[in-house]
Amino acid sequence: MHGITALADVRSSPYSQYNPQFNRESLKAALRCQGIQYVFLGEELGARSEDPKCYKDGKVQFDRLAQTELFREGLERVATGSEQYKISLMCAEKDPIECHRTILVSRSLKESGFSVIHILADGKTEAHEDLESRLIAMFKMNNHDLFLSADEILKKAYTKQGEAIAYTMKTEEEDADSRKRAQG
Predicted pLDDT of residue 96:
97
State the chain's maximal CA–CA distance in angstroms: 56
Q: What percent of the chain has pLDDT over 90?
A: 83
pLDDT of residue 161: 98
With bands split at pLDDT 50, 70 and 90, how would you rate the model's confidence at 142? confident
Instruction: Say if residue 172's pLDDT is above 80.
Output: no
pLDDT above 70 as % of the chain: 92
Average pLDDT of the chain, as a whole number: 92
Task: Give the CB-side neighbour count of residue 3, counting CA atoms within 13 A.
Answer: 6
Mapping DSSP to helix (H, G, I), strand (E, B) and coil, where does residue 117 land? Answer: strand
Q: What confidence category does residue 75 fall into, taking pLDDT thresholds of 50, 70 and 90? A: very high
Q: What is the pTM of this model?
A: 0.87
End-to-end CA gap in the chain: 41
pLDDT score of 178:
55
User: What's 162's DSSP letter?
Assistant: H
